[in-house]
Amino acid sequence: MKPAKDYIIFPLDVSSMEAAMKWVELLGDRVGLFKIGLELFIRLGPAVVRTINETGGAGVFLDLKLHDIPNTVNRAMRGIVDLGVKFVTVHCGDSPRMLEAAVEGSQGKVDVLGVTVLTSVSPGDIKAIGYRQDYYSDMNRLVLDKAAMARDAGCAGVVCSGLEAPGIKSRLGPKFTAVIPGIRPLWSLHRKDDQERVVTPAAAVRNGADYLVIGRPIRDADQPVQAVKMVADEIRDAVQSHRP
Ligand code: C5P
Domain ranges, ordered by start, for the chain: 4-242
Is the pLDDT at 197 greater than 90? The verdict is no
H/E stretch holding 91: strand 87-91
Nearest CA to ligand 1 atom 1: 215
CA 139 to CA 96: how far, in whole Å? 19
pLDDT for 192 equals: 73
13 CB less than 6 Å from ligand 1?
A: yes
For 77-135, the pLDDT digits (tens) are: 999 999 999 999 999 998 899 999 999 999 999 999 999 998 888 899 999 999 999 99
| Mean predicted confidence (pLDDT) in 139-161 | 96
Residue nearest to atom 10 of ligand 1 (CA): 11
Angle CA(217)–CA(234)–CA(22) in degrees, nearest 5? 40
Residue 35, helix vs strand vs coil: strand
Q: Give tens-digit pLDDT for 155-193.
A: 999 999 999 999 999 999 999 999 999 999 999 877 777
Residue 22 appears among annotated catalytic residues? no
Query: d(Cα 62, Cα 94) in Å, to the nearest integer?
Result: 22
**Ligand 1 contacts CB of residue 167 (under 6 A):** no
Q: Is the pLDDT of residue 195 over 70?
A: no
Q: Ligand 1 centroid to 181 CA: how many Å?
A: 5
pTM for this entry: 0.94
The residue annotated as part of the active site, out of 5, 22, 65, 169, is 65
Q: What is the pLDDT of residue 244?
A: 61
CATH number of the domain located at residue range(s) 4-242 in this protein: 3.20.20.70
Provide the 10 A C-beta neighbour count for residue 166: 15
Sign of CA pseudo-dihedral 186, 189, 193, 196: positive
